[in-house]
Amino acid sequence: MSNLNFEQKQSAQSESGSIGGEPGGETLFIQHFKNDEARFLKYYHEKMAGYTALKKAFGMTPAAIVDEMKKSNLRGRGGAGFPTGIKWGFINDKTPFPRYLVCNADESEPGTFKDRDIMRYTPHLLIEGMVIGGYAISANVGYIYIRGEYTREAVLLDEAIEEAYAKGYLGKNIMGTGFDFDLTVHRGAGAYICGEETGLLNSLEGKRGEPRVKPPFPAQAGAFGKPTIVNNVETLANVPFIINRGGEWFSKLGRLERSGGTRLISVSGHVNKPGVYEIPAGSMTIRQIIYDLCGGMLNNGRLKAVIPGGSSAPVLTADEIDVIYDIDPLMKVNTMLGSAALMVVSEDQCVVKLIHRITKFYAHESCGQCTPCREGCHWMESIIERILHGKGREQDLALLADISDNIGGKTLCALGDAAAGPVASFVKKFKPDFEAYIRGGKHA
């Protein structure tokens, strides 16, 4: 990996205001972002050891690649945090053919915009990762399912794929190994639910974007009923690094036991420097991210709330932000890392309006298949709307808590939990704000 320019990395970081000095550590992506040359094969070859990992992977057996992935402790970057190596391991000798590798580039969780930068600036990382993934699970066809709104990224990806085809990194007989891999970009139509992996597969097949009953899981019957592995963009883009430098090295990049590598985080809201940052997994608390990495609160405002993992994560109050920003520590405080989208809310914002907007989003994006989510999300939205209009009743808060309890964990896919978690946490943690509306008929 001598081609990775580490000196340049430091300066790139400080320019994009990414990583503060303290937690330190190596970064993989961020130094190449905001560089319009980075998306070309020439840059990828020269500065990022382009496609050397692929060559190395072809010298390994598929099983050895999966082992390396397991050692890396790479956990899925889409939101669920499932260990990638274990997921790939679901495909074994007995799995029937054909098999598919699908990249989930739907990035539909509100507040998340890290995958966009990977596709914009380092599309070849994703392509190389997918070819290696395809080789590891013996799939000859890959799809990148990209959200409809990412028009520019879809074009850039297509250009990069064309470059890779021209150089023989995609197509028939890649690098003379006899391995074929075709890659197609499929554009979605902008539904949140198509970020759920089985909803995505239905949409990819041209059907209504509705999640499927699990089991069978995609690894058994996925795209077109065939065994399929679905991985997030960032997950797949990490693969070339792992192959080149080893799973153990990657695992040690992270600061926690079960979470390897670095993590791209999307910070939005009332901070001075919102944007995409890269930190070693588990290296910072939320407080450090807000006040050290992102330059503190906007206009020196006071922090009211933090939504740590995209809009579906239960909210944290200003007192709860001294928690390490990674999967397991956040789970311990009853919220989640999700897609690592940190939304920062300052004191002058109305949280009732905020939760109304979030709930409206989920009511709008519910696919309508299963009862609790279809009926419940809209019901919660109506109740919060009524509260906002000064028509709230004392019993509404208990009702909201009960409805969210009736939705959470009772639905076909995770959208129900995504809608229920925020409502339950907002009602519990910001009760006075709701009561002000109910009693005074207006914002406190």
Partner 1 sequence: MPKCTIDGREVEFQPGQNLIEVAKKVGVEIPYFCYHPGLSIVAQCRMCTVEIEKNPKLQTACSTPASDGMIVHTQSEKAKKNQRSVMEFLLVNHPLDCPICDKAGECDLQDNSYKFGDAYMRTSEDRRTYMDLDMGPVIKKNMNRCIHCTRCIRFGAEVAGIREMVAIQRGNNTEITTIDGRPLETEYAGNYSDICPTGSLTLKDFRFKKRAWFLKKTPTICEGCSRGCNMEIQHEGGQIYRSIPRENMEINQWWMCDEGRFNYRYTMEKDRIVEPRVVEAGASKRADWATAVAQARASVRGKKALVLIGSDLTQEEAQLIQQFAKQSLSGADVRHFGTPGIKSAGEDAAADKLLKRKSRTSNLHGVEKLGIGAFEGNTGAAEAVVVFRGGRAVLPEIKAGIWTVGIGVYHDSDSKKPGVILPGAAFSEKDGTVVNFQGKEQKLRRSVLPAGKSKLISEILALWTHQGVANKAGSKASVQAVTEGAV
Query: Which of 86, 213, 331, 444 touches partner 1 (CB under 8 A)?
Result: 213
Are 421 and 340 in contact by the 8 Å Cβ rule? The answer is no
Q: How far is the CB of 375 from partner 1 (least distance, A)?
A: 4
| Distance, CA of 343 to CA of 268 (rounded, Å) | 5
| Distance, CA of 33 to CA of 12 (rounded, Å) | 9
Q: How far is the CB of 374 from partner 1 (least distance, A)?
A: 6
- Return the number of the residue (64 or 213) whose C-beta is nearest partner 1: 213
Q: How far is the CB of 215 from partner 1 (least distance, A)?
A: 8
Interface with partner 1, residue 383, by CB under 8 A: yes
Query: Which of 55, 258, 386, 428 touches partner 1 (CB under 8 A)?
Result: 386
Beta carbons within 8 Å of 108's beta carbon, 6+ residues apart: 147, 191, 192, 194, 195
* Among 26-34, 301-309, 336-344, 365-373, the segment contacting partner 1 (CB under 8 A): 365-373
Q: What six digits make up the tokens of 173? A: 């007989």
Query: Which of 376, 392, 421, 422 touches partner 1 (CB under 8 A)?
Result: 376
Q: How far is the CB of 172 from partner 1 (least distance, A)?
A: 37
Interface with partner 1, residue 378, by CB under 8 A: yes
* Among 88-96, 152-160, 320-328, 406-414, the segment contacting partner 1 (CB under 8 A): 406-414
Interface with partner 1, residue 360, by CB under 8 A: no
- SS3 sequence of the chain: CCCCCHHHHHHHHHHCCCCCCCCCCCCCCHHHCCCCCCCCHHHHHHHHCCCHHHHHHHCCCHHHHHHHHHHHCCECCCCCCCEHHHHHHCCCCCCCCCCEEEEEECCCCCCCCHHHHHHHHCHHHHHHHHHHHHHHHCCCEEEEEECCCCHHHHHHHHHHHHHHHHCCCCEEEECCCCEEEEEEEEECCCCHHHHCHHHHHHHHCCCCCCCCCCCCCCCCCCHHHCCEEEEEHHHHHHHHHHHHHCHHHHHHHCCECCECCEEEEEEEECECCCEEEEEECCCCEHHHHHHHHCCCEHHHCCEEEEEECECCCCCEEHHHCCCECCHHHHHHCCCCCCCCEEEEEECCCCHHHHHHHHHHHHHHHCCCCCHHHHHHHHHHHHHHHHHHCCCCCCCHHHHHHHHHHHHCCCCCCCHHHHHHHHHHHHHHHCHHHHHHHHHHCCCC
Q: How far is the CB of 401 from partner 1 (least distance, A)?
A: 12
Interface with partner 1, residue 366, by CB under 8 A: yes
Q: How far is the CB of 425 from partner 1 (least distance, A)?
A: 20
Are 313 and 338 in contact by the 8 Å Cβ rule? The answer is yes
| Distance, CA of 359 to CA of 367 (rounded, Å) | 14
Q: How far is the CB of 195 from partner 1 (least distance, A)?
A: 14
Query: Which of 371, 401, 428, 436 touches partner 1 (CB under 8 A)?
Result: 371
Query: Which of 169, 379, 430, 434 touches partner 1 (CB under 8 A)?
Result: 379
Q: How far is the CB of 359 from partner 1 (least distance, A)?
A: 12
Interface with partner 1, residue 406, by CB under 8 A: yes
Interface with partner 1, residue 367, by CB under 8 A: yes
- Return the number of the residue (25 or 368) whose C-beta is nearest partner 1: 368
Query: Which of 218, 222, 275, 372 touches partner 1 (CB under 8 A)?
Result: 372
Which residues inside 411-440 make contact with partner 1, applying CB under 8 A? 411-412
Q: How far is the CB of 110 from partner 1 (least distance, A)?
A: 16
**Count of residues making up the chain:** 444
- Return the number of the residue (140 or 406) whose C-beta is nearest partner 1: 406
Query: Which of 42, 172, 357, 364 touches partner 1 (CB under 8 A)?
Result: 364
CB atoms within 10 A of CB 173: 10
Q: How far is the CB of 81 from partner 1 (least distance, A)?
A: 18
- Return the number of the residue (83 or 211) whose C-beta is nearest partner 1: 211
* Among 12-20, 46-54, 327-335, 363-371, the segment contacting partner 1 (CB under 8 A): 363-371
**Count of chain residues binding partner 1 (CB under 8 A):** 29
* Among 53-61, 89-97, 290-298, 375-383, the segment contacting partner 1 (CB under 8 A): 375-383
Interface with partner 1, residue 191, by CB under 8 A: yes
Chain positions contacting partner 1, by CB under 8 A:
191, 193, 208, 213, 363-372, 374-379, 382-383, 386, 399, 406, 409-412
